[in-house]
A and B are shown apart, each in its own frame.
Chain A
Amino acid sequence: MIKRRVTWLALAMLALSAGFLLWQLKGPTGFILTLRGTKLATLIMVGAATGAATILFQTVAANQLLTPGLVGFDALYVFLQTLLVFLLGGVGYAAIPAAAGFLAEAGLMILVAVIVFRLLFRNGGADVIRILLTGVILGIMLRGLAELLQRLLDPAEFSVVQQASFASFSAVSPAQLAITGTALAIALFLCARMAPRLDVAALGRPVARGLGLDYDRLIMQALALVAALVAISTALVGPLTFLGLLAASLARELVPTHRHAWLIPAAALTGALILVAGQFVFERLLGQQSTLSVIVEFFGGLLFIALIFRRRTL
């Protein structure tokens, strides 16, 4: 049953991708297909990276309410964009080669994420309250710093920062996609190799160690992967705090299994499906643009609140 459901998700993804590419295809088809293909690949990669990262993070944190976005990545991303515009100016910022800028940004975010995660998960585990508080405090600190820098910018530069601060799926270059695609493929391969050990890790540190799992080492490896996946996604399109929670929660409902070999692809496919379907509806059916991230965050936030109230304990 589980295998069949994941297959259905994959088939739905294929059908949706075909619809996304071919819906009302008129005029210069080659040009339009290139544009749509780039956007489709971006949406799929961001959704897959975020979905897979969230399943890993929830296993590490032993809590299905959490998402790595809550640790303050959005604030870090906005701070980095502001700092770059502040240091280089609006023109200098626009002149950064896309691939180099993306690599630097992703590298820096991986570094910060690894440091934060190591601090949070030293001694083998982190509790929910500590993760949430760290996210809130890190967010306040970085947002405060970003606001301070933004006050020093001129209005034109400020608008550049504002544009860069929301997730956008249209401004991704083929070079960025190639790098991201390769990195994502490697990360997902490593996730698949780790899957049987993640099943044991999900039992919690005490039981997993009793069963002979080198738990602390696995957790550090998983967190490094989470950091890479989140950094890939954020550096590519910008912050999406709650997409992972939506993807992981839906995947767990659609594919009710404890086995990460199925859960990770299910969450990756669900994340991609949410983004592609959402973008398709907004762009093609409703004729609107650039609102998908806002809607994803809105519904993701609602889900987060609903999950909090549904639970007896966090």
Chain B
Amino acid sequence: MIEVSNLSYSAGQAQILRDISLTIPQGGITAIIGPNGAGKSSLLHCIAGLLTPSGGQVRIDGLDPFDAPHRDRARAVALLQQTPRIATRLRVRELVAFGRWPHHGGRPGPEDARLTEEALATFDLTPLADRSLETLSGGQRQRALVAMTWAQSAPWLLLDEPLNALDPKYARDLMERLHDLTRPAPEQRSVVVVIHDINAAAGWADRVIALKDGEIGASGPCNDIMTPATLHAVFGMAFDVIDHKQRPVVIAR
């Protein structure tokens, strides 16, 4: 379980997050939505222990990400950041294999190789495994980065805008795969995803946290949050919400 208590974060003079308290239960997909500048990415980075909050605390299954040794933290929580620039020349397999680094610290074993291949297969990257990252499209690179994050084998996956640069098919495939992999199973993972596409959140998330001006505007099960009144309160504009195959579909008015 992720527990956030009275979390605040400032960047210089600007207060980005204000007194946020929330709990995220294990399993399933939790989507963080909200308008631009609401503090979604900052919240995700604070939870991952990569941004130091100005107040409050975070616990990931009891672990304090700010106090824990760096590799222990990376084994508990894996973070995919928004379109990171990778300056070094790598093949897809080499990039994905880096996901195992928190476990082997530079001395990979056969188990690491097996889990790397598994991550490549999980995200349909096996045919591209020997391709150089430079030759990939933006969407393929994004999938490789998601696979690297997956190979980290952390119980918690925090994904910051993972659908960036993905075409509709791959966006759907990725969310579907994450959905399946977060169902109860021997190796169940939990995903927290920052997403600007409300319908991707409405279509796949189990829970939604809606941020507004650095505070929690609403949070709860997806169907409870995806209502015209709540979305209007968070985004400041009118929406219609219709039902499609028992999932909400949001249409901007």
Task: Give chain A residues whose Cβ lies under 8 Å from the Cβ of B86.
Answer: 203-204, 207
Task: Give chain B residues whose Cβ lies under 8 Å from the Cβ of A176.
Answer: none
Is the CB–CB distance between B88 and A207 below 8 Å?
no
Q: Mark A167-180, 1 if CB is under 8 A from B, else 0.
A: 00000000000000
Chain A nearest CB from B2 CB (Å) reads 16
Q: Mark B91-134, 1 if CB is under 8 A from A, else 0.
A: 00010001101100111000000000000000000000000000
**Which bucket holds chain B's interface residue count?**
20 to 34
Q: Identify which of B48, B70, B81, B107 gathers the most chain A CB atoms within 10 Å of its CB.
A: B70
Chain B residue, CB-CB nearest to A195: B106
Interchain CB contact (< 8 A) of A210 among B78, B89, B106: B78
Is the CB–CB distance between A211 and B99 below 8 Å?
yes
Task: Give chain B residues whose Cβ lies under 8 Å from the Cβ of A203.
Answer: 84, 86, 88, 98
Is the CB–CB distance between B101 and A200 below 8 Å?
yes
Is the CB–CB distance between B87 and A63 below 8 Å?
yes
Interface flag for A64 (CB, 8 Å): yes
Chain B residue, CB-CB nearest to A194: B106
Chain B residue, CB-CB nearest to A209: B50
Interface flag for B232 (CB, 8 Å): no
Task: Give chain B residues whose Cβ lies under 8 Å from the Cβ of A214.
Answer: 70
Chain A nearest CB from B90 CB (Å) reads 5
Q: Mark B8-48, 1 if CB is under 8 A from A, else 0.
A: 00000000000000000000000000000000000000001
Interface flag for B146 (CB, 8 Å): no
- Bound complex: CA of A63 vs CA of B81, how far in Å? 20
Interface flag for A62 (CB, 8 Å): yes
Summed over the interface, the residue pairs from A and B with CB atoms below 8 Å come to a total of: 64
Is the CB–CB distance between A62 and B87 below 8 Å?
yes
Task: Give chain B residues whose Cβ lies under 8 Å from the Cβ of A212.
Answer: 70-75, 101-102
Chain A residue, CB-CB nearest to B74: A212
Interchain CB contact (< 8 A) of A258 among B48, B85, B90, B99: B90
Interchain CB contact (< 8 A) of B74 among A63, A211, A252, A256: A211
**Which bucket holds chain A's interface residue count?**
20 to 34
Is the CB–CB distance between B75 and A210 below 8 Å?
no
Is the CB–CB distance between B81 and A210 below 8 Å?
yes
Is the CB–CB distance between B73 and A199 below 8 Å?
no
Task: Give chain B residues whose Cβ lies under 8 Å from the Cβ of A210.
Answer: 48, 50, 74, 78-81, 149
Chain B residue, CB-CB nearest to A261: B106
Interface flag for A213 (CB, 8 Å): yes
Q: Mark A192-231, 1 if CB is under 8 A from B, else 0.
A: 0001110110111011011111100000000000000000
Chain A residue, CB-CB nearest to B149: A210
- Bound complex: CA of A141 vs CA of B78, how far in Å? 46
- Bound complex: CA of A212 vs CA of B103, how far in Å? 10
Is the CB–CB distance between B70 and A213 below 8 Å?
yes
Is the CB–CB distance between B102 and A211 below 8 Å?
yes
Task: Give chain B residues whose Cβ lies under 8 Å from the Cβ of A258.
Answer: 88-90, 94
Interchain CB contact (< 8 A) of A204 among B48, B84, B102: B84
Chain B nearest CB from A209 CB (Å) reads 6
Chain A residue, CB-CB nearest to B94: A258
Task: Give chain A residues whose Cβ lies under 8 Å from the Cβ of B75.
Answer: 212
Task: Give chain B residues whose Cβ lies under 8 Å from the Cβ of A209.
Answer: 50, 70
Chain B residue, CB-CB nearest to A201: B88
Interface flag for B152 (CB, 8 Å): yes
Chain A nearest CB from B57 CB (Å) reads 20
Task: Give chain A residues whose Cβ lies under 8 Å from the Cβ of B48.
Answer: 210
- Bound complex: CA of A59 vs CA of B106, how far in Å? 17
Chain B nearest CB from A76 CB (Å) reads 27
Task: Give chain A residues whose Cβ lies under 8 Å from the Cβ of B106.
Answer: 195-197, 199
- Bound complex: CA of A209 vs CA of B94, how far in Å? 18
Task: Give chain A residues whose Cβ lies under 8 Å from the Cβ of B79.
Answer: 210
| Given known contacts A210-B48, A214-B70, A202 and B87 CB-to-CB distance under 8 angstroms | yes
8 examples of A-B residue contacts, CB within 8 angstroms: A62-B85, A200-B101, A203-B86, A204-B84, A209-B70, A211-B99, A211-B102, A212-B75
* Beyond A203-B86, A207-B86, A210-B81, 4 extra complex contacts between A and B, CB < 8 Å: A63-B87, A199-B106, A212-B72, A213-B101
A: which residues have CB within 8 A of B? 59, 62-64, 195-197, 199-200, 202-204, 206-207, 209-214, 252, 256, 258
B: which residues have CB within 8 A of A? 48, 50, 70-75, 78-81, 84-90, 94, 98-99, 101-102, 105-107, 149, 152
